[in-house]
Amino acid sequence: MNLIVVREFRPDDVAAVAAIEAVASPDPWTPALFEGELSVLPALRHWLVACEAADDRPEVVGFVGMMFVPDDTGAHPEGHVMNVAVRPDRKRQGIARRLLIEAFADALARGVEHLTLEVRVSNDPARSLYHQLGFAPVGLRPRYYPDGEDALILWAHDIQTVEFRRRLGLREAS
């Protein structure tokens, strides 16, 4: 297996990210939606891609997008994982974990206090990963997905802790 590099999502990544999304999701985002996300203020969004550093041409094998929700003071106490996917032939290799940890490290640096996401009730591998990363179920969104499947609502509260950093394998804040 080649080295995986995580970096910022760029406009020239849209086609590769949309191709992964098209095979990973029964209701995929369009390239136009990803392009639109890249135009949102960086204070409100953060997108990363995982690239396999094979030869001279790194290939995108996964991505993650976070949305930050400001409060009345302009601080961003909440982060929402909007989308995460890994190319099917690269699943179960720690790529999604790595993307999420990088995204959560950025959220910590921004002062985010709580993280949330929705996951398909049937997606046991993702639910297990989120549990390992400190998320707990708090509710259900009935028929959330276009195919009628329910979404489990997960939260990780009070993430600005040494315990959460350790869970992610990050050093303590200085």
Which amino acids are annotated catalytic?
Answer: 118, 130
| Distance, CA of 20 to CA of 33 (rounded, Å) | 14
Identify the DSSP state of 15. H
Q: Which token pair is 108?
A: 């910590």
Identify the DSSP state of 28. P
Contact at 8 Å (CB) between 62 and 87? yes
**Element housing 137 (H / E):** strand 136-141
* Measured CA distances, 34 to 26, 56, 96, 134, 164 (Å): 17, 25, 18, 27, 30
| Dihedral, 161, 167, 171, 174 alpha carbons, nearest 10 | -10
| Distance, CA of 164 to CA of 159 (rounded, Å) | 6
